[in-house]
Structure 1
Amino acid sequence: MSHPFSIQFYKSPTRRRWLLPVLSVATASSLVLGSTAEVQAFSLGDLLRGGVQVIQGIQLSNMSPEKEVELGKDINEYLIEEENLAISDNERLTRYVNNIGQRLAKKSDRSDIPYTFQVVEDDSVNAFATMGGYVYVHTGLIREADNEAQLASVIAHEIGHIAEKHALKQMSNAAIQRGIITASGIDHSTAVQLGAEFALRRPRSREHEYEADRLGVETLGRAGYAQWEMIQFFEKLTGGASIPEFLSTHPDTEKRIERLKSMLDPQTAKNGYGTNRNTYQSRLNSLM
C-alpha cells in the first residue's frame, strides 16, 4: 500500500498554515532568481509548489530512524525480488561478513540503528549500501581482499555512507529535481524504486565519497583494525588492468589515497588487527 514519507516540524497548526507558504515562497524564490526572465516565467503557484518540494525534500532526508530502517527493508526486498540481486545462501560466509560488519557498526558514528550485512554472489569487485543499515558485499570483493582488514575497510566505508545518510540526501535531491515530491511527501513505492536505482546504478558525489572514506578509516581504527589497509587495498585495486566496479564511478582514486595518507600516521596506522594474509586466505578457503 502506498503511503507518503513526510515529517512535520511545527507543532502549532495555526503557525504551520501561515509559515509553510512563506517558507515555500522564500525557498523557491531563491532557486529561480538567477535571471529576471526566469522570475517572470514563474507564477506564484509555481513558486509555492517549488518551495513545498524543497521543504518536503529536506524532511525526506531527515526522516526518523524508524522510517529509514523500514524504507531500507523495503528497498532490500525490491532489490531481491525485482532486480534479482543474488543474495548468497552461504550462511557461514554471511555470518563471517556480518560479524565484521557488526564489530565496525558498534564503533561507527551511527550505532543506534540495526545493521544488516549481506553477501552478493557476484564476481565483480563491488560493495554498496542503502539507507537504514543495509550493506551489500560482492563475493568478488571478498576474494580480492588480501586480508580481513582490507575487507573491513570497504565495509567501514559503506557504513560511513549510512552514518551520514548519503542515500537519503541523494534521494531527496532527485525527488526535487524530478518534481515527484508533493506537499504530503513522496509516495512510498516511488521512494523504494529510487532507493534501488541509486544503490545499483548511481555514483555518489565526490564529497560523499571523501566523507565516507574519512568516517570509514576512523571507524576501522576504533574497531581495532589496521587503518593503513584501506590505503593498501585502494592501491591494489588501482594497480590492475582496469579499475573495478567498486571504484569506477567514484572520484579519482589517487586523490582519495592522498587524502587518506594525509590523515594517518604511517607508523601507528599499520598497527592493528586483520593484517595476516595467510589467516584470511585459510578462512576463505573454508567458507567459499
Structure 2
Amino acid sequence: MQLFGGIDIGSTTTEFVVIDENGEIVFKDKTLTSGNIKVASEVGYTNFKKSDIGDKEIVSIVSTGYGRKFVTFANRNITEISCYAKGAKFTHPTVKTIIDIGGQDSKVITVNDRGDVDEFIMNDKCAAGTGRFLEMVAKVFNIDVDKLSEYSDRADKIIPISTVCAVFAESEIISLVSQQVSEENIINSIHNSIAEKILGMAGRLKVEQDIMFCGGVARSKGMVKSIGRLFNSENIIVPHDLDFIGALGAALFAAGL
C-alpha cells in the first residue's frame, strides 16, 4: 500500500490527511494553528507516526492553505482553491459550486465537469461571513457556538441586520435585545445575514448546482439552512469530512489522482 499526504495550514486550524493509492483516507488529524505554523504543521505528521500505520512511508506530501509555503517536509505546495476543488469533486463528483466558511476567511469556488477551477472569490480581509463572527455572537449571548443553531431553529422571523462587521455588530445586537427582540430571532437573522454576505460574493460567479458547503461553519445547521434558502437549493451537500476537504485535495494531488 502506497501512502500520500496532504496538509492544510489554515489561520485557525491545521488538518493533515493520509490517503492510499485509491484516494481512501487512512489517517486524519486536526489541530489548532495558534499562530505557530511550524509547530502546527508537525503535529499531524507526528501523530501519524504514532498511529497503527505509522511505520509505513508516505511517498509524497503536498501542502496547502495560507501557511503552505512554510511546511518544510512537503514536496510541493498548491493553493487552497485548487485543493478544495480537487477534494470536493473527488468526494462528490456532481459538485459544481463549493462554499467554504472557515474561522477567518470564506470562499466560493465554481468548478467544471473535469473538476478544474472555473472561477473563485475569497474574503480574507474581514470577519464578516466567517466563523469568527459567529464566535463573537455566541460570546455576546454567553452561548456555546455549537448551540447557536438550536436557538435559530426556534425562531419565527428574520429581521434586517444592517451590519455583519464584527466591530459594530455587538452594538447592534445589544440594541435589538433592548428592543425585546428574542435571542432566537436575532441569531436566526445573523445566520441569514452571513448567508447574504456569501450570496453577495457568489453573485460575481456563475453558481450552479450541486452546491457543497464545507469548513467548520458547515457544522451549523442554522447556517446550512440559511445557505440553502438563499441559494435556492434544497440539498446543500455537507461532506462527512467537512474540515478535511482542502487537505484531502492536497493529498490527491500528491497521489496524482
Q: Same fold (TM over 0.5)?
A: no
Normalised by the size of structure 2, how large is the TM-score?
0.30
Structure of higher CA gyration radius: 1
Structure with a larger share of its residues in strand: 2
Structure with a larger share of its residues in helix: 1
Normalised by the size of structure 1, how large is the TM-score?
0.28
Larger RCO (CA under 8 A, 6+ residues apart): 2
